Amino acid sequence: MSVQGQAILKPGREKAIQNMHPWIFSGAIDESRSKLSDVEPGGIIDVRDSRGGFLARGYYNLRSQIRVRVLTWDQNEALAPAWWRVRIAQSIRAREPLEAQGDTSAYRLVYAESDGLPGLVVDKYNDHLVVQFLTLGVDMVKQTIVDALVGLLKPAGIYERSDVDVRQKEGLQDSAGVLYGEAPPDPITINEFGVKYPVDVYTGHKTGFYLDQKDSRRWLLTNPAVRGADVLNAFSYTGSFGVCAALNGAESVINIDSSEPALEAALQAMSMNGLSTKAEYINVDVFDQLRQYRDDEQSFDVIVLDPPKFAHNTSQVEAACRGYKDINLLAFELLRPGGYLLTFSCSGLVEADLFQKVVFGASVDAEQQAQIIGWLNQPSDHPVLLTFPEGRYLKGLVCRTTAF
């Protein structure tokens, strides 16, 4: 792809790009000096400092607040189809240890900016790939990316799940369907640490499964604290935490979710692992149910709180923190002495320190002393580029209540 124009940054706005952060916002660009009028949406442009010096090269979208997403800081690097193949191959190669370990048949192959491929997500489910083209720039080279994936991996099929809200900010419509080969089974049955999970890549959240909670599932699958415990899995979705707890010898498991189809998938997951009688499924609002348990003086040994994203933009952070405090307060009130709370936030705008302070406030209001005995994060197939801390969105705490 040839360079179609250039963006000149305002004086003093070069530092982030010099530090190799891949986003350039509209407010950093000097529109009067830039040459952008002939750039097609999603076209490649050069980014220069206020004195005209080369900084980076990436794709441009006038409709997005993130005007430029950087692909390279090398002025001599041509962004031809071969470039996309090489960069995708590098990302796949970085996951080869996961393939060699053989403990899972599903993981993330490409994680957007953190793998130097802004706007592109590729997940592997057995022999099928599920892809998301989240930005205009990658949407324009969709076929180039599909060809590269086919050539590198020879999958049974590639299915697109570009049906997320972020595309609207890019001026794009939702898009889903088979891009290559066979349509995926419905569901796909994946294997992780010997556990079977049904995955609906057609309508399931994200690309069908929460691949980012792999390490958290392993905690529930292997920790001795779960054995013989009464486990409450709130915001359970398709019940993967509950399956792990049951396989690890939990005395009882309750899955709560507001989605009936999600709970039906949870029951299916339990059944395919020989656990059809090990859990209860409650289709209600989680906040209401936790309050009901508190009023009924019911208690649990292990509680998992994995709610959906509460903050989608900065204006929602304060309200999100109130929501996190509310559910964690209720959870602390429901925990037995020496009980365990696994609590998560997937809101990228709620930073880890802030989330920990919110959980601290909840423990104080619940009059529960608690220790953090572990931190849970997204696994190695969701790496966080040091120059792009926004890639870290999942935060989890393992808290244990104490007797003092």
Q: What is the pLDDT of residues 278-293, one digit of tens each?
A: 799 999 999 999 999 9
Average pLDDT score over residue span 389-398? 96
Whether residue 251 is predicted with pLDDT greater than 90 in this model: the reply is: yes
Cα–Cα distances (Å) from 301 to 54, 85, 267, 365, in that order, read 58, 49, 22, 20
Residue 348 has what pLDDT? 87
- Alpha-carbon distance of 404 to 66, in angstroms, equals 50
Could you tell me if 201 and 208 are in contact, meaning their C-beta atoms sit under 8 angstroms apart? yes
Residue 312 has what pLDDT? 85
The yes or no reply on domain 210-401 and CATH 3.40.50.150 is yes
Please count the other Cβ atoms lying within 10 Å of the Cβ belonging to residue 93.
10
Whether residue 212 is predicted with pLDDT greater than 80 in this model: the reply is: yes
Q: Report residue 324 as tokens.
A: 């996190």
Cα 259 to the chain's mean position, in Å? Answer: 20
Any idea which residues carry the catalytic annotation? Answer: 346
- Alpha-carbon distance of 252 to 232, in angstroms, equals 8
Side by side, which strands form the sheet with 54-60?
3-8, 44-48, 54-60, 66-72, 23-25
- Alpha-carbon distance of 320 to 31, in angstroms, equals 35
Residue 277 has what pLDDT? 76
Instruction: Report which DSSP code applies to 35.
Output: B
Q: Indicate the average pLDDT of the chain.
A: 95
Helix (H) or strand (E) holding 98: helix 96-101
Q: Is 183 left (phi over 0), alpha (psi -120 to 50) or beta?
A: beta
Could you tell me if 11 and 378 are in contact, meaning their C-beta atoms sit under 8 angstroms apart? no
| pLDDT confidence tier of residue 249, bands split at 50, 70 and 90 | very high
**CATH for 3-72, options being 3.10.450.710, 1.10.3720.10, 3.40.50.800, 2.30.130.10:** 2.30.130.10
Place of tokens 């990302």: 91
Cβ neighbours of residue 312 closer than 8 Å, sequence gap 6 or more: 165, 347
Average pLDDT score over residue span 97-114? 95
**CATH for 81-188, options being 3.30.750.80, 3.40.50.720, 3.60.20.10, 1.10.10.10:** 3.30.750.80
Residue 305 has what pLDDT? 98
For the chain, give every domain's residue range. 3-72, 81-188, 210-401
DSSP string spanning 256-273?
EES-HHHHHHHHHHHHHT
Average pLDDT score over residue span 303-308? 95
- Work out the percent of the chain whose per-residue pLDDT is above 90: 93
Helix (H) or strand (E) holding 341: strand 335-345
- Alpha-carbon distance of 112 to 133, in angstroms, equals 9
Question: Is the pTM above the cut of 0.85?
Answer: yes
- End-to-end CA separation in angstroms for the chain: 65
| pLDDT confidence tier of residue 114, bands split at 50, 70 and 90 | very high
Angle subtended at Cα 390 by Cα 170 and Cα 221, rounded to the nearest 5 degrees: 115
